[in-house]
Structure 1
Amino acid sequence: MTTIQALLAAAGLPRLEARLLMQQVSGLTHAQLIASPERELDADSAARFTALAERRRAGEPMAYLLGSREFYGRDFAVSPAVLIPRPETEHLVEAALERVGREHPARVHDFGTGSGIIAITLALEAPAWTVSASDLSVDALDVAKANAAALGAAVSFCQGSWYAALPDASERFDLIVSNPPYIAAGDRHLSEGDLRFEPGGALTDFADGLSCLRELAAGVSAHLRPGGWLMVEHGFDQGDAVRALFGAAGLVDVATLPDLAGLDRLSIGRHPS
């Protein structure tokens, strides 16, 4: 038996991270850890904590170690099969809710859904909407389906690559959203921080960073209803290129919206009415 205090001290991690990992293995609350630092932990739990601490020291994201990350006020399960939810993506959700309207009975599809954060959040925030989502990765879809079930979100899922994933090739939507792979191959960020551990195919198109965005824009006119919106997240330096793609696809009211840091974060465009 080893005390919680001794294990936390030996973890070699920032205090909050160590305590979160301890909560994960012990089932104790933060308050209980503070109140009972001399409590002893059984050998199995101590070994699991030590293993998690070692993985964290090696740089593995806390979200994967804890198995969840908050997005739009809700906890979503995550695994190395999906990207870690980031607050910047909340801007995409807010833009969709604002322009389509929560009370409008819209049909919505989320391409490249990953853990399902966009589709599930939209379904919960706008119950009048009919929401579907797709991903090429079967493992990612398993995570998304589990999140939808856990959060009580009515989202239908399908597997496949972009528009080819749709069961009905003629289906049209009032809103298409996506946070596609948009980092260019060879970008130094892919070898830094959390991105080292996230699924490469969800981060980069293994090309110039725009190929998935091109595909979404090129096929959108066949899948948007008149007046319907396409909204995509992209890199801070891709606003000009994405607006050009949207314009070439015949979309109107094309704009790029910044995140809280003032960086280009998402572009939107509307099918002519």
Structure 2
Amino acid sequence: MGQKHDVCSDLISIRDYIRWGASQFNAAGLFFGHGTDNAWDEALQLVLHALHLSLPLNPEVLDARLALAERKDVIALLRRRMDERIPAAYLTGTAWFAGLPFKVDERVLVPRSPIAELIEDQFAPWLLREPEYILDLCTGSGCIGIACAYVFPEAAVDLSDISVDALAVAQRNIDIHEVGHRVRTIESDLFNELAELRYDLIVSNPPYVDAEDLAEMPAEYRAEPALGLASGVDGLDFTRRLLREALDHLTEEGVLIVEVGNSCVALEEAFPELPFTWLEFRRGGHGVFLLTAAQLHEASAQGLL
């Protein structure tokens, strides 16, 4: 009856299917970078989702025998991951960021920014005081701004994006996390619709992938909206605008934090005199800079922007 029948007959336990899935993922040459970084964790996530289970899991459960219908459901999900090269988070509908679950689909990027670590640390030691007004620019799923709302429970948070589709996902997450009294969505192309608003903290994970990297990205990235990735030949089309306009939307002691990933080299070459502070992360990640309102003011005065 073919391979599917053989797999269902030969594999019995949850542990069997996690091991089989990991082996198949490695053989298929899948890319891992949307929440997990290895085949085992990816297989574990998908197998548990198919079985309506979640971590933490009693180790004894891993040896539980699966009913035939459950085995077929697990195999179908694992095969979708291999055949369609869809990030696991799209298959499960959920991604974790800063210790919080967020609903995601193909309308938004899968949350994976190292900025999560900064949020968990309440941006110490970079903020001089707790922010009252926060902007998550290019919010996508809303994960950065909503996570900020958790660690700064008195702050008002704006989630801004040019994509109406992305904002619909962000609004869903606002509702799920029940932070609608302090968090709102705003449709805006960069700062265009933010008028005279000023913020103590602007955090942005904007499009920053250059044309060469975009062309060479694994298939899993092509499942994501290109609007959230591509930013011109050198990856800096959006960041250039952001640097020129951010000062008008920061308070006097405001802080700007932006992720530019691999485009950090091009950014320093484009703005060699800007005093970027490149932030370091315990859990890995790079290409996130910090500038204060004072630094931006000085740079603007000197004609560096």
- Under a length normalisation based on structure 2, what TM-score does the superposition of the two structures give? 0.73
Aligned to 1:157: 185
Does residue 13 (structure 1) correspond to residue 21 (structure 2)? The answer is yes
Q: Give the counterpart of 2:136 among 97, 102, 110.
A: 110
Identical-residue share of aligned pairs (%): 30
In 1, Cα distance between equivalents of 2:79 and 2:176: 30
State the SS of the aligned residue for 1:27.
coil
In 1, Cα distance between equivalents of 2:42 and 2:249: 45
State the SS of the aligned residue for 2:211.
coil
State the aligned residue count: 263
Q: Give the counterpart of 1:100 among 120, 127, 130.
A: 127
In 2, Cα distance between equivalents of 1:227 and 1:247: 21
The answer on whether the counterparts of 2:114 and 2:284 sit within 8 Å (CA) in structure 1 is no
Shift of 1:184: 0.3
Aligned to 1:127: 153
In 1, Cα distance between equivalents of 2:218 and 2:240: 26
State the SS of the aligned residue for 2:289.
strand
Aligned to 2:67: 40
* Structure 1 residues 11 and 260: alpha-carbon distance in aligned structure 2, compared to 1, 3 A threshold: closer
State the SS of the aligned residue for 1:84.
coil
User: What letter is aligned with 1:187?
Assistant: D
Aligned to 2:236: 210
Aligned to 1:265: 287
Aligned to 1:192: 218
- Under a length normalisation based on structure 1, what TM-score does the superposition of the two structures give? 0.81
Gap runs ≥5 in structure 2: 23-39, 298-305
CA deviation profile, 1:11-63 (whole Å, cap 9, x unmatched): 951165445333323324554852421x4143xx6554333211211332222
In 2, Cα distance between equivalents of 1:63 and 1:261: 20
Higher strand share: 1
* Structure 1 residues 130 and 263: alpha-carbon distance in aligned structure 2, compared to 1, 3 A threshold: closer
Worse-matched range after superposition: 135-144 or 187-196: 187-196
Does residue 77 (structure 1) correspond to residue 82 (structure 2)? The answer is no
Does residue 235 (structure 1) correspond to residue 242 (structure 2)? The answer is no
Shift of 1:266: 1.2
In 2, Cα distance between equivalents of 1:265 and 1:91: 14
The answer on whether the counterparts of 1:182 and 1:210 sit within 8 Å (CA) in structure 2 is yes
In 2, Cα distance between equivalents of 1:228 and 1:10: 47
Shift of 1:212: 0.6
The answer on whether the counterparts of 1:243 and 1:256 sit within 8 Å (CA) in structure 2 is no
The answer on whether the counterparts of 1:181 and 1:201 sit within 8 Å (CA) in structure 2 is yes
User: What letter is aligned with 1:259?
Assistant: F
Shift of 1:176: 1.2
Aligned to 2:81: 56
In 2, Cα distance between equivalents of 1:188 and 1:112: 19
* Structure 1 residues 134 and 87: alpha-carbon distance in aligned structure 2, compared to 1, 3 A threshold: closer
